[in-house]
Structure 1
Amino acid sequence: MQHFQIKSKNIVGFIDNLPKPGDKMVRICQKKLFISSEEPMFQILITEISKVFLNKITFPIDRIYKFLIVLHQNGTADLFINDFKETMDVEVNRSVKKGEPIYDKDINDIFELQFPDVEIKSNDAVIYCTKIGWKFGLYFNFTRKIDLGELYKELGGLTKKLSFDRYISSTNYELINKLNENKDTDVFIVTEGKTDWKHLEKAKSKLNNNLRIEFDNYQDDRGDIDILKMCEYYARTSHPVKMIFIFDQDNPDIIKRLDEKTTNDAKYQVWDNNVFSFYIPKPSHREKYKNISIEFYYTDDETHTIDPSTGKQLIFSNEIEERGTKSLTTGKYEAKFVKLNKPKDEEELDKKIYCKDVEKIVDESGNSIAHSKDVFANNILTEKEGFNNFNFTEFKRIFDIIGDIIELKN
């Protein structure tokens, strides 16, 4: 942890208005929950913070992507740079175990951001800045009335907003570029998974579909709760074309919320300002299955296609079991996932594509045998040998819904 202590004057806040020459009455801002690096005020404040604090430490400013400054009443300040420990209290959307990695798509909500190795007293002042994606967020509190619980919630809110803003910035960029490239576009489509658009793009081509649509080619996973929030966000302002947000059919809570917004017998939801949504319908060969993601539109044989260059394939959750070893010396537990000789039939209708830590999926001999959803989708998109004769007939169900939405009058 990069930790520095410097002498500091008792700063009470930042000037919040633009004083006229000679003005002695000014307005001071003592607390701000969130200032984005896209706002002009951010550049002004971060320059002043650098002058007063960051320039006094032996750490290159251009290498700083995160900092926490705690100002004490004794005229000192503790500065923590980049790699100090942070913990978050979050709500997840699946069962998890201790030590398991968590991804953005697993998080429904962020409640608190904490610093377990940093002591913050009630009469301290706090400045915090962090970066998510290409955007910074700045927080400060000079009231000298710190309530730790409230502080952690406010910083959790900053983290949540920065994370969501990353999705919005990326989608806005894609939307503008795609419409500039193709001015005849009727619909811009945003999918839940980062690979879903690849399957839909290939299916559109194979089905000789003439719908004038463009896809958000986002390259990171977004959770279904994030897509739902994006529906709400984009429904607040007008758009030049219809926007459709497509969900998997694998989360009962999300399905219930979407169903509640569905009117009459429609297979989609109508938001405001040209925004629509729907969850993918069940393919004809998966009517009894409970967790439908885009990969379920293929047959099991197609999904199990082995990549000739790697010998790997997609694996369903009912085809593996977790096995682990625990060191009697260190107590460290190491898990691996071993492919079963026969799938668990009792889990057939509940199965999902197992896509976490695919490098840990092995056969009985310890050979790595699984590839990711991303590899699978890329193989289909590029028509790699063995992946170039898939049947896309079931995808017509998705495009029929898109077509119905396109035909709606604005």
Structure 2
Amino acid sequence: MKNENKFYDFEIEYKEDLEPNKQGSSQLLEVCKQFCKQKQITPMIAIFDRDEPNIMKKIHDDSQGFKNWGNGVYSFALPIPNHRQDVKEICIEHYYQDSEIKRTDKRNRRLFLSDEFHSNSGKHLNNPQLNTTEINKLKSNQLKIIDDKVFDSENNNVALSKNDFATYIYNKEEGFNDFGFRAFQEVFEIVNKILIYHYK
């Protein structure tokens, strides 16, 4: 595995056979609970966003930087990257720079940050033709990613879903093919630490 010119002595395989509706944190938590009941031939590592405090307590152990469920199942919460030290409720999109998060696709859709909108009216601060109904995210004192319910003057939803954003980066689509991954270094370090622990 290679990240930003640093090599790791492991390969990552993604578990592709999970049902699409089992991709949220509560569902991933249940996956950990089920899979730890029998020994896994290959270590299974579940990585969680840090934006749900109730889940955090169950999937992360600060003392060692990850949780050992037994039988080769591990989990951890995303570490807070250097450029987001003021944001405690991190999700994976926060690992990118603001300028990368705001990239527009060919259909003129993009992810939005909660600090782009007026917290009461939901109107975009720089483009009054845009507004969002995700008022709860605007009321939070944390910087949130908004990937739905941002409407233009013709009531078209111009928000890009997180899934589409990730797919564009993975496929190196035009406009999404020059992103930096330095912030992900610490994630790889934790995976490496888990594997050393597992195989020692």
Q: Could you say which TM-score interval applies, normalised by the shorter chain?
A: 0.7 to 0.9
Aligned CA distance change for structure 1 residues 353 and 249 (closer, same or farther; 3 Å): same
Instruction: Among all aligned residue pairs of Structure 1 and Structure 2, give the percentage whose two residues are the same amino acid.
Output: 32
- Give the match for residue 152 of structure 2: 363
Q: Note the 1:2-401 alignment, pairs <5 A.
A: 207=4, 209-210=7-8, 211-217=10-16, 218=18, 220-221=20-21, 222-259=23-60, 262=61, 265-307=63-105, 309-320=106-117, 338-341=123-126, 350-355=142-147, 358=148, 360-364=149-153, 366=155, 368-401=157-190
> Partners in 2 of 1:370 and 1:272 — Cα distance?
40
Shift of 1:256: 2.2
8 Å Cα contact 2:72/2:198 also seen in 1: no
> Partners in 2 of 1:340 and 1:314 — Cα distance?
15
Let me know the Cα RMSD of the aligned residues: 3.0
Match of 2:166, SS state, is: helix
Shift of 1:206: 5.1
- Give the match for residue 405 of structure 1: 194
* Residue identity opposite 2:188 in structure 1: F
* Residue identity opposite 1:223 in structure 2: G
Q: Which structure has the bigger radius of gyration? A: 1
> Partners in 2 of 1:205 and 1:388 — Cα distance?
17
Q: Scaled by the length of structure 1, what TM-score is found?
A: 0.41
Match of 2:46, SS state, is: strand
Shift of 1:243: 0.8
> Partners in 2 of 1:368 and 1:230 — Cα distance?
33
Aligned CA distance change for structure 1 residues 323 and 299 (closer, same or farther; 3 Å): same
8 Å Cα contact 1:339/1:362 also seen in 2: no
Unaligned 5+ segments in structure 1 are 1-203, 325-336
For residues 301-323 of structure 1, give each alpha carbon's deviation from its aligned partner in whole angstroms, at most 9, with x where no partner exists. Answer: 1100111x211110123434699
* Residue identity opposite 2:70 in structure 1: D
> Partners in 2 of 1:317 and 1:245 — Cα distance?
27
> Partners in 2 of 1:206 and 1:403 — Cα distance?
12
8 Å Cα contact 1:338/1:364 also seen in 2: no
Unaligned 5+ segments in structure 2 are 128-137
* Residue identity opposite 1:341 in structure 2: N
Aligned CA distance change for structure 1 residues 297 and 303 (closer, same or farther; 3 Å): same
Shift of 1:293: 0.6
Aligned CA distance change for structure 1 residues 365 and 225 (closer, same or farther; 3 Å): closer
Shift of 1:258: 3.3
> Partners in 2 of 1:374 and 1:388 — Cα distance?
16
Match of 2:169, SS state, is: helix
Match of 1:339, SS state, is: coil
* Residue identity opposite 2:125 in structure 1: L
Q: Scaled by the length of structure 2, what TM-score is found?
A: 0.80
Shift of 1:237: 0.7
For residues 360-410 of structure 1, give each alpha carbon's deviation from its aligned partner in whole angstroms, at most 9, with x where no partner exists. Answer: 422356554321111111111111111111110010110100001111244
> Partners in 2 of 1:406 and 1:384 — Cα distance?
32
8 Å Cα contact 1:250/1:290 also seen in 2: yes
